[in-house]
Homo-oligomer: A and B are copies of this chain.
Amino acid sequence: MKTLHSPQSVQRWAAAQRAEGRSIALVPTMGALHEGHLALISAAKKKADTVIVSIFVNPTQFGPNEDYARYPRTLDDDIRRCRELGADVLFAPAADDMYAASFSTWVNETVLSDALCGLRRPGHFKGVCTVVLKLFLICQPQVAVFGQKDAQQALVIRRMVRDLNVPVKVILHPTVREQDGLALSSRNRYLTESERRQAPVLYQALKQVAQLKKQGHSPAQIRRKLIRHIQTAPDARIDYVMLVDEETMAPVTKAAAGTKLLIAVAVFFGKTRLIDNVRIVW
């Protein structure tokens, strides 16, 4: 496995692969790799001849009061794990190599970004879209694999790909969970022991959605039940609990049959913000 740092060297490598008829799958990450990321890399291996894993803690998707500085960085471990899984290139650029001092071009998805995490984290999805498009243009993949855990990110990126005619197929991989249901996340390591014990409440709540629908509850009723369930965890501070239409991100209180709903939650435990989601066709 090659570890490359400059965008130019990766772009050259990718162009050579493509010229020789080899397909490329990209797994964009912020590093601090866990079993969820590793599942994405394994999935990518099955989709293309070669796999690039990018590791870049992207400053432009963090707000001024967020955890950019303290976001976990475990590059040596990450390199070892990518090598073990058979990735071909690990792309780990420096922030300066991705953003020139006079950088001034942004990619902005303006509808799906304007809900859920986008409301709570202004500018977050502008940073995500910009860096993901850059990674696509540097790495030239035919396929890119993202995790379903970041559901809104996935929908925003798919919209960007559609709107800008990006020739990349976006594949979503199911969320990987701990035994007790907690979605894997690099931020789980921030949790205290007590917070970690309470954190599975997100998925415990979300798991009930299908059953609640079957029992005849409306989206608005389900939302109230999820909120009440999550509030049983003493340290849970709800950021949002939303049922939205996947096509528009508009909140749904009553759904027409066949509507694709995303049920998404964001909950703070102390300073740590966890997100999770399930999807359901109404």
A132 CB, min distance to chain B CBs, angstroms: 11
Task: Assess the B11–A160 pair: CB atoms within 8 A.
Answer: no
Set of chain B residues within 8 Å of A110, measured between Cβ atoms: 104-106
Chain B CB within 8 A of A109 CB: yes
Task: Assess the A137–B165 pair: CB atoms within 8 A.
Answer: yes
**Number of identical monomers bound together in the oligomeric complex:** 2
Provide the A11-38 mask, 1 if CB < 8 A to any CB of B, else 0: 1000100110100000000000000000
Task: Assess the A134–B164 pair: CB atoms within 8 A.
Answer: yes
Using C-beta atoms within 8 Å of the partner chain, give the interface range for chain A.
35 or more
Contact of A100 among B11, B107, B137, B162 (CB under 8 A): B162
With CB as the reference atom, state the residue of chain B lying closest to A160.
B105
Chain B CB within 8 A of A167 CB: yes
Set of chain B residues within 8 Å of A163, measured between Cβ atoms: 100, 103-105, 134
Most buried by B among A18, A110, A137: A137
Task: Assess the B129–A105 pair: CB atoms within 8 A.
Answer: yes
Chain B CB within 8 A of A111 CB: yes
Q: A100-B163, A140-B167 are in contact. List 6 more A-B contacts (CB 8 A).
A: A19-B21, A104-B163, A105-B159, A105-B160, A130-B164, A137-B166
